[in-house]
């Protein structure tokens, strides 16, 4: 689904671990081109809505390498806010 200009809602496959107290910790994201990105750190977890692409859920602020981004759990799916390159914005 296309979001606000320059952004798109992208559902992704996520590998996550569920702790014994029920907490969920996402470990890696599989991108649609087949690449897997390991999540190095979860900075914060809170309920939030995405202004950029719409929808809401549990928002994980995560670090992948040097990049900080948001991963949303929109029961029962995960999504990220994908950046759409300018030439693709119609």
Partner 1 sequence: MRERVIMHIDMNAFYASVAQHLDPRLRGRAVAVAGDPERRNGIILAKSREAKACGVKTAEAIWQARQKCPGLVVVPPDYAAYKRYSRLARMIYYEYTDLVEPFGLDESWIDLTGSLQLFGGDAMLVANEISGRVKDELGLTVSVGVSWNKVFAKLGSDTDPGDGIVSITRENYRDVAWPMAASEMIYVGPATARKLRAAGYETIGDLAHAGDYFLGRRFGKIGFMLRDFANGIDGSPVRQMDPAKADVDYVVKGIGNGLTAPRDLVCESDVKALVWLLSESVSQRMRESRLRCRTVSVGVRRAGDLSGYSRQTTLRIPTCLTSDVAKLAMGLIEANQPLDEEHAIRAIHVRATNLSSMDDPLQCDIFGDAEEALRAERLDLAIDELRSRFGNRCVHRAVELTDEVMGGLDIKRDNTVHPIGFLR
The residues that touch partner 1, with contacts defined as CB under 8 A, are 1-4, 7, 46-56
Residue 57 C-beta: closest distance to partner 1, Å: 9
Burial class (CB in 10 A: 0-12, 13-18, 19+), 78: buried
Residue 73 C-beta: closest distance to partner 1, Å: 13
Nearer CB in complex with partner 1: 10/52: 52
SS3 state of residue 39: coil
Distances (CA, A) of 47 to 18, 41, 72, 85: 18, 18, 9, 28
Nearer CB in complex with partner 1: 42/54: 54
Residue 74 C-beta: closest distance to partner 1, Å: 11
């Amino acid at each position: 689904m296309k979001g606000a200009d320059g952004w798109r809602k992208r559902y992704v496959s996520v590998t996550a671990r569920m702790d014994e107290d029920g907490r969920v910790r996402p470990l890696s994201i599989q991108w649609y081109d087949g690449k897997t990105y390991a999540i190095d750190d979860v900075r914060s977890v809170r309920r939030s809505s995405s202004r950029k692409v719409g929808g809401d859920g549990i928002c994980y602020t995560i670090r992948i390498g040097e990049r900080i981004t948001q991963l949303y759990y929109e029961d029962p799916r995960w999504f990220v806010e994908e950046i759409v390159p300018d030439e693709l914005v119609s």
